Amino acid sequence: MPQGEEKNSIFRILDAAHNRTGEGLRVVEDYVRMVLGDAFLSKQLKQLRHDLSQALAPLDLASQILARDSEGDVGRNVQTESEYQRESDHAILKANLTRVQQSLRAIEEFTKTIDATISRNIEQLRYRSYTLEKAIMVTRLSLQSLKEARLYVLIDGRIWQQSPDKFEALIQSLIDAGVDLIQFRDKGLSDRDHVAIGKRLTQIIRPTSTRWIMNDRADLTVATDADGVHLGQDDISVADARRMVGAGKLIGVSTHNIQQARQAVIDGANYIGVGPVFPSTTKSFDAHVGLDLVAGVARAIQLPAFAIGGINSTNLEAITSVGLDRIAVSAAVSAADDPASAARKLKGMLLL
């Protein structure tokens, strides 16, 4: 334990760093709460502030306050032009996240001279701040990237097997109908067929505003240059998929409860599927989440979320009435007599 003047100086550093961390977290929290409107991430930031106070509770608060010397701080008049210039709210967000992490590092280092346990606890808070930064930034970027995305259609390879020309005509008709995302999902095909179909999808879809997603397989996403991959709860992790597909691809995750939805946000997914909401004719489930989960996600999470499971034009209003205006469908479009017309109708209802 340092003595005398050195101890006083360390408490002064800790007081300043604690204040900077709290100030930075408050700015970030305000951004997440009022700009992103994300209740879940706001709560995570609030919890981080609380846990910081708890971690520093063993320190002598009076010693920190008594060591404070705001008037005599030589850094008070050391300023740069960039401190008073922010190009955007994103720049404010980034600057304050950096402030939080740098200040936590200062606390972590100087508490090593007082109590190693405190230092270790602060280290864990610093790593949590990095995870939250990723979740916030990915949410922000995903909202921009998928801002206009409302209708997500899942298709399989049956038509391809009957006639590649008819399959390609179907894809083009869905693009023309305004489908935003097309997922290719067919567990009965070989990897070679997946790649052949996927490469053709890329050729057809890439010049358009529609994007296509490979189901389950990050490796086939890379092989076909798909726009992204969709993962189930039993598939590889978002982190492993990201290492495979890179930063430029979308990663979606199927979620069946609020805990899974929250975890997908923390893991850095670009969007989530929420369901199954209603019984489906294309996939069987042991249980259906109903509208409660849809409403819970709409209230708390701003990451793009697509309700999925048995949705069609007759029950779509039930989804939008609880706050979600993005849906993923299969049979409602692919099994329709006129898939393009069905897609156009659903898209029109979502845009009302």
Judge if 17 and 126 occupy the same domain. Answer: yes
**pTM for the whole thing?**
0.91
Judge if 192 and 287 occupy the same domain. Answer: yes
- Nearest to 324, CA basis, from 252, 263, 275, 264: 275
| Predicted local confidence at residue 6, as pLDDT | 76
Rounded Cα–Cα distance for residues 33 and 41 (Å):
8
- Band (pLDDT 50/70/90 cuts) for residue 1 is low
Q: Are 288 and 315 in contact (CB under 8 A)?
A: no
Judge if 255 and 294 occupy the same domain. Answer: yes
Number of H helices, E strands in the chain: 15, 8
- Max distance between CA atoms of the chain, in angstroms, equals 85
Tokens at 304, concatenated: 């793009």
CATH classification of the domain holding 43 = 1.20.1260
CATH classification of the domain holding 299 = 3.20.20.70
Query: Total domain count for the chain?
Result: 2
Q: Are 295 and 274 in contact (CB under 8 A)?
A: no
Judge if 309 and 325 occupy the same domain. Answer: yes
Q: What is the pLDDT of residues 255-272, one digit of tens each?
A: 999 999 999 999 999 999
Judge if 217 and 313 occupy the same domain. Answer: yes
Rounded Cα–Cα distance for residues 292 and 295 (Å):
5
> Which residues are bridge partners to 273 per DSSP?
254, 306
Q: What is the pLDDT of residues 97-134, one digit of tens each?
A: 999 999 999 999 999 999 999 999 999 999 999 999 99
| Predicted local confidence at residue 275, as pLDDT | 97
Judge if 346 and 314 occupy the same domain. Answer: yes
Q: What is the pLDDT of residues 50-83, one digit of tens each?
A: 999 999 999 877 677 776 766 666 665 656 656 5
Q: Is the pLDDT of residue 326 over 80?
A: yes
| Predicted local confidence at residue 339, as pLDDT | 98
Judge if 20 and 130 occupy the same domain. Answer: yes
Range of the domain at 244: 148-350
Rounded Cα–Cα distance for residues 186 and 101 (Å):
44
